[in-house]
Structure 1
C-alpha cells in the first residue's frame, strides 16, 4: 500500500485493490483509520485536531484522490499528493 502523502505526523495510504466506497487509510501514531473522500472517518478514530487536518486535506485534494482511486482500480502507479501546509 503506497503512501501518497504525509503531514503533521499523518501518513496517507491508498490500496490498489480496495473495496468501495472510495476511501484512503490514515496512520497516526500506529493507529489506523479509514476515511472517505469527504474527510469523514468510516472506521477507526483520529484525535479531533488531526481529523480536522485530514478533512481539510481531503477537501483540497478531492480531485486528486478520485484520480488516484481510478489508478488504483486499474493497478497503475499512484501519484503523490501534496501535504497540507
Structure 2
C-alpha cells in the first residue's frame, strides 16, 4: 500500500485502506492474502472482488463497529487530508 492508499486498520492479517480521490459510493478496500475486495460503507456489501466467508465476517463485524469513523475517513480522503487510524478488531 502506498500514500495514495493509506492503511487505516489491520487485524488478523486483514488490511483495510482507502484511496484518496476515489469514486462514489463511499467505500474501503480490503486485502487478505491474495484476496481483495471493495466494501460499501453504508451497506457493508461487497462492491467488487471477493473474500472468504471468514474474512468477510470479520471485516463486516469490524466495519459495523466503526461505520462513523469510516465515513469520517472517507470525507478526509476526499479532501486529501491525513486519514485517522481506526482500532482493529480484537
Give the TM interval when normalised to the shorter protein: over 0.9
1:30: how far off? 2.9
Asked if the contact 1:39/1:56 (under 8 Å) is kept, the reply is no
TM-score (norm 2): 0.91
1:42: how far off? 1.0
Give 5+ residue unaligned stretches, structure 1: none
TM-score (norm 1): 0.96
Is 1:65 paired with 2:70? yes
- Map residues 1-85 of structure 1 onto 2, 5 A cutoff: 1-37=5-41, 38-85=43-90
C-alpha deviations, 1:20-66, integer Å up to 9, x for none?
00000001103211011132111111000110110011100000000
SS at match of 2:37: strand
Give 5+ residue unaligned stretches, structure 2: none
Q: After the TM superposition, which segments of 4 or more aligned residues of structure 1 sit over 4 Å from their partners?
A: none
Alpha-carbon distance in structure 2 between the residues aligned to 1:49 and 1:32: 14
